[in-house]
Chains A and B, each alone.
Chain A
Amino acid sequence: MARILLLDDSPTQTLYMQRQLQRLGHEVCHVGALSEALGLVAAEVRPEADAEIGAEVKSEPIDLALVELTLLQDNGFDVGLSLLRAGVSKVLLLSGARRETDDIWAQALGLQGVLSRPLTAQRLGARIADVLAGVQTRVQPGVQTRGRTDVQ
């Protein structure tokens, strides 16, 4: 049971993810853009801002942010960094078009990693549990070794 911030600008994906996460027993708050997310996070950092945002926003801390990598207006790396800076402790990116380097890059930026679609409830649940428990998922070893040999 965790409080999860979902940032995606696709209603379909959002709806689906919301359902999945709720099914997994998490509390989800969903936003469509970085500015909204920052407002939300700010409200948590400064509880007095609650009144400005609205009563429905609770001031519990956000445990994890799930951010879509390819947003229409922005890119997930930037958004993730901003969220980290704003005080969100863990950020996991979601991507439909996985590339080998995404994970590496995300982790270099200090994000928790990239979760690739299609997702199943099981996989989603396992990864979220890992991240919340502080387990850093290693980048695919196969990919790396191949790269190394090729370079040589």
Chain B
Amino acid sequence: MSSEMMASVEPGQPLLSHETSVWRAALRQCAEQLESSAALLLRDREANLNIHAPTEAATGKSEPALAEVLQNIERVAGLCRLFGARRAAVFCADMAALFTQLVRTSDPIPTATLELAGVSLLQVTRFLMDLRPPVSDAEFDVATLNALRLAIGKSPLPPPRSGAPAVQDGPWNACHAPDIRALLLQRVRGAQAILGQTSGAVAPADELSSEIAPELSCELRAISSVLQVLGPQWFGFIDADDCLDAGQAVVLLLGLELQLSVSPCPSNCPSNCTSASPSAGRLPAVDCLLLDAQQQWRVLASQRLTTLVLPLAEAPLTQGAISERVGIEFLALCQSLQLAGDVELGLAPRDEWPLLLAAGVRLARHLLCWQRVAISMDGGISPTLAMRGRQLLLRLQLHALDCLSPENLPPTPAWRRQLTQTLIRDCQHFERLQRTVWRRRLAAEYSPDAELLCTFKEELRQTLILLERSLSCPQGDALCTVVARLAQNALVIGEVLLHEVLEAMRQLLTVLLERQASVGAEDLALLESLREQLLGRMHEQPSLAEEALVSLQALIGRRMAHLQAQPHADITDVLVDVTPATTLNAAAAMVAEKRMDGGRAAQTRVAITQLPVYLAQNIRELLSAAERLESRADFATLNRVLIVELRMLATGARALQVYRVARLSAVLAELHQALAVPMTAAAVIASDITADSSPDPDLLVQLVEAHRLLRRGLNQAAARREVDNPRDIIAGLYRRLDQWQTPPLLAATLASPLRGSESDWHFQHNAECYHDFRREAEELVESIESDLGALLSGAAGAVSALLPDKQHDKLQSILHALHTLKGNARLFACERLAALCHRCERALLAAKDAVRVQPGAVAEIDRAVHYSSGRGVQPHAGAFGQSRAGPLCPLGTLPQMAPLVSELRAALDELPLAASAPTVPLTPLPPEHSIAIPAASLQRIAALVGSARTQVRAALDVLQSCRHEPDAARLSLLEDLLIEQERCVVQLDEEVAGSRLVSFSRVTPRLQRLAGRHSNQLDRQLRLRVQNDSLLMDRLLLERLVAPLEHLLRNAIDHGIEPLSVRRACGKTDGGTVLLDMQERDDQLVLELRDDGAGISNDALLACAARLGMADSEEPPEQRLQWVLLPGFSTRTQATQDSGHGIGLAMVNSVVTALGGRVEVESTAGIGSCFRLLLPRWDIASKPV
């Protein structure tokens, strides 16, 4: 001991933290206890010094005192060991022996011995009072020790070698408080190390082997004594002797580690006094967590931890495995921890999270894997593995709890790092061990012989070729299947590590599939390197080194973690309007509710994982009902079942993001609904459903086919394969619906003649607009003619001059042109032209289907053409397919198209060249118009008129009599009658006015339907919300507004809402929102259609302006937006079937202008657009009808 050293320690009291001062106090208390008890004992002994044999009573009295002294000494010894004061510890042990000797011996004790005991006691107390272990320890030099040893009859220690190394002062020399916690942890870890040496060799239920047991017991005793000194209020006491069972020791030690690392300052935790061992009851740390009521998730996590710890602690080692549930729970916990990491609650340092979690997830996966092996391999799990696994699990929990701990006492970073490293090392060790065990078992199970290996190699070769091919055009599900197969085969030949890597890859791909994300370049690179490894394996090259695979596994793991860190795409809205009145069960309602509450992402995930179960519960009903459709009996009942099930399925599938299934089931539900409710207006259906209420065979065939596709799609989705695209079937079903739903729904709801005369008041347009339409119509008809000519020239020569796909292209382009022409013609009220187009279109479509589907359908085109060859007969949709001619060559029917097209040309030529032509209406109102008045209203009106008439008659009578002799009484009677009559007229007025006002909500379903269907056709996800649609407005006004609104809606879907991929790329929600809001402001009616789509790009505006040669491109941006209302102005360079011609918005504008209102456009590129229609509220109401 050098003087400098003393100087460096001595100056002043070190700055003590609160915790340290508590410990100091504890130490002092311990010293005092020791001193008082020992002093008592010594005094007693001294008093009886001369008595040769102590009396029985004296012995009886001194034994408890001795026990107390010994216990105290033991504690001190433990402390000494903890602080590394080895000599002091030895000294203590010797002192304990001395005291025992003092008390128990019957010989007279020499005074020197008593003095020695007193001196040694003083020495120990001083040591405790001024605890600077290395320095203090040095005071117990060999001479002191030897004096004690001599007294108890031990051989003296050899004298110290000269030049012994100077005592290192360690952490005690600075102003730092001794980190007793860390020291304790070291100790605990030491004990674990001892246990770890044994665990390889211990049989499950064994006691610890004899050479380990004393050592471990000693360690435990030291720890427990320290804990006792540091206050029972902190940990309670641990009975070291109870801990000799290996399993318990593991649990105990880890429990200790756990407590040491998370338990807050000792004095703050009085509630812990009672907990006897960490595995019994709820963990104190968990209690602390529970106090933190604001952090709900913490409570949840800690509860889960508790439930995990308990079965672990209770499961006797003999039973081997932890239940699978625990494994799953654990995995869930890891995930929630990861979630918590996202929440950023200022927990663990961020840079350690990934490392820790990666280890945790890996471990959890392995535990699951291990469970599976345990289960599948029948035989119990190897005890070594079980022990290791449990150790790891507990350690990981410790980590987890550590991360969850309230912020008041974060363990030192160094400690944390050390623990992480230990964890990772343990993990690796565990994995290796597990692999070995597994390989051995697999080899025993599969016993791969030459034949199997040969088969494997051959299959590997082929699968690799397949993989290579898949890589060149990556498709998630195909890759997934290939990888899964490789993984399974790797297991057959005992390549466990390879299997794990492949499994990880498969899981990665599955996650991608589940999220409907495409396989990225990163994943492809991973697959490529996997392929290389496998190639190496095939050629028996050493390149299949373990390291390479392990690093590959790490890469896959990292990618997975990255993927999981990304926010999951949320549930998009359900397109099909689900009526709550229908018997949707709770599951669907729940889904719908979830849909409303978009914010709870975590719950959404739950919904996604749980939904297959809900779907499955009903799927049997659905399938069997669909099965029996073919038999046709009992159609109505089946239909009802199907409507419900299909709606549920649509909702569920959309929530699962299996859009194709959702779409198909939505259409089917709509179709079945239509079959179930024969609407009077749609008389067509009635003819479809014959007397025995089963639909016509064609429809049934179509339905069954659709159901088959749906079932297939469901299975594909369940197997995580790509679902077949149901586009064609959906289109077919929609065609059916379209057939039934002419006349349009609005006609049924508003009972106004929308169809019919060319002089339809429906559209008002200005001259420019009309001119554009006329010009385009010319072009379209020309293109139709030329295409048809090309087709015909092929067909006429009996040998088609065109290749089949060319034919198809031509047909397609004709269809396209027809559709466009039809749409435009409708907009401009050229109903004849539109009807013609429709007929042509249908004929062609039938022809096209016939080429693809069945020759029988060709009859339809024949019929259609027959119908459409003029005569203006409205084709009766239900009549289709009733008479069937023999199969014709589809192209053979094309010549019959020619008259149709020439008729088209004729109709076009009939159209006036300019809007000023007399046949095109310019006046806003047609000369004749009718409106529907509710019957009740009509009755009231009739009654009013009747009473008015009788009053008039009475008044006339009175007036007549007044002529002869006018008197006051008669005059007053006349006055009464006139007043009464006026009241009648006022009522009549009100009634008439009232019957003209209707609620906007009448057309809401129609708009919803349009939105659903249109977006379905264009593969867009969106939801139309209509607000305040209870607003009343004039019936005529509403009728006129429907078309512009429909157009605006279509426009929003077409131009506004982006495709799914684009939306995701922009970071928008999957489903777009179109909001239709309306309100009354003063005298104005404001209808606002707002979407959250792409908006109108300024560049596109300018480009189009340039194209049109508009000079005033210097206008301010807000003004430029108004350009879109100009005829011919379209920001699209490519027109589609429905839009992009620059006509629609111009039409909207002209309609609104004609109604005395105006259109306002607002848009922000990338955010969305808003079209606002401002209309004078009174316009039509004040005008005569």
Collect the chain A residues with CB atoms within 8 Å of residue B445's CB: 118, 120-121
B712-729: CB near A (< 8 Å → 1, else 0) gives 100110110100000000
Interface positions of A from 15 to 51, Cβ below 8 Å from B = 15-16
Interface positions of B from 453 to 488, Cβ below 8 Å from A = 455-456, 458-459, 466, 478, 480-482, 484-485, 487-488
| A96→B718 contact, CB < 8 A | no
Residue B378 CB within 8 A of the other chain: yes
Residue B86 CB within 8 A of the other chain: no
| A13→B488 contact, CB < 8 A | yes
| B376→A97 contact, CB < 8 A | no
| B510→A150 contact, CB < 8 A | no
Residue B612 CB within 8 A of the other chain: yes
Number of residue pairs spanning A and B whose beta carbons lie under 8 angstroms apart: 124
Of the listed residues B323, B442, B481, B485, the one surrounded by the most CB atoms of chain A closer than 10 A to its CB is B485
| B716→A110 contact, CB < 8 A | no
With the chains together, A47 CA to B458 CA distance in Å? 36
With the chains together, A77 CA to B623 CA distance in Å? 13
With the chains together, A70 CA to B456 CA distance in Å? 18
Collect the chain A residues with CB atoms within 8 Å of residue B711's CB: 81
Q: Give the size category of B's interface with A.
A: 35 or more
Interface of B is mostly: helix
Nearest B-chain residue to A79, judged by Cβ = B715
Contact of B613 among A70, A104, A118 (CB under 8 A): A104
Collect the chain A residues with CB atoms within 8 Å of residue B492's CB: 12-13, 16
| B718→A147 contact, CB < 8 A | no
Contact of B484 among A15, A70, A144 (CB under 8 A): A70
Nearest B-chain residue to A14, judged by Cβ = B455
| B451→A15 contact, CB < 8 A | yes
Q: Give the size category of A's interface with B.
A: 35 or more
Collect the chain A residues with CB atoms within 8 Å of residue B459's CB: 10-12
Q: Given A13-B492, A76-B719, A151-B610, answer yes or no on A108-B620 (Cβ-Cβ < 8 Å).
A: yes
Collect the chain B residues with CB atoms within 8 Å of residue A75's CB: 715-716, 718-719, 721
Residue B377 CB within 8 A of the other chain: yes
Residue B617 CB within 8 A of the other chain: yes
Contact of B491 among A69, A108, A117, A120 (CB under 8 A): A117
| A105→B455 contact, CB < 8 A | no
| A122→B612 contact, CB < 8 A | no
| B613→A122 contact, CB < 8 A | no
Contact of A123 among B376, B452, B489 (CB under 8 A): B376
Q: Given A102-B718, A104-B612, answer yes or no on A70-B458 (Cβ-Cβ < 8 Å).
A: no
Contact of B610 among A11, A12, A109, A150 (CB under 8 A): A150
Of the listed residues B452, B606, B719, the one surrounded by the most CB atoms of chain A closer than 10 A to its CB is B719
Nearest B-chain residue to A144, judged by Cβ = B613
With the chains together, A91 CA to B416 CA distance in Å? 53
| B506→A97 contact, CB < 8 A | yes
B125-154: CB near A (< 8 Å → 1, else 0) gives 000000000000000000000000000000
Of the listed residues B446, B484, B506, B715, the one surrounded by the most CB atoms of chain A closer than 10 A to its CB is B715
| A10→B610 contact, CB < 8 A | no
Collect the chain A residues with CB atoms within 8 Å of residue B835's CB: none
Residue A138 CB within 8 A of the other chain: no
Contact of A118 among B442, B485, B715 (CB under 8 A): B442
Nearest A-chain residue to B482, judged by Cβ = A72
Interchain nearest-CB distance for B463 vs A (Å): 8
List 18 additional A-B contacts (Cβ < 8 Å) besides A11-B459, A15-B452, A120-B377: A10-B488, A10-B489, A12-B455, A12-B459, A70-B480, A70-B485, A72-B482, A75-B716, A104-B613, A109-B619, A118-B491, A119-B376, A120-B376, A120-B378, A142-B328, A146-B332, A151-B590, A151-B607
Interface residues of B (CB under 8 A from A): 323-325, 328-329, 332, 372-373, 376-378, 442, 445-446, 451-452, 455-456, 458-459, 466, 478, 480-482, 484-485, 487-489, 491-493, 503, 506, 510, 590, 606-607, 609-610, 612-613, 616-617, 619-620, 623, 711-712, 715-716, 718-719, 721
13 A-B pairs with C-beta separation under 8 A? A10-B459, A10-B488, A11-B455, A76-B719, A78-B716, A81-B711, A97-B506, A100-B609, A101-B718, A105-B616, A107-B616, A120-B376, A142-B325
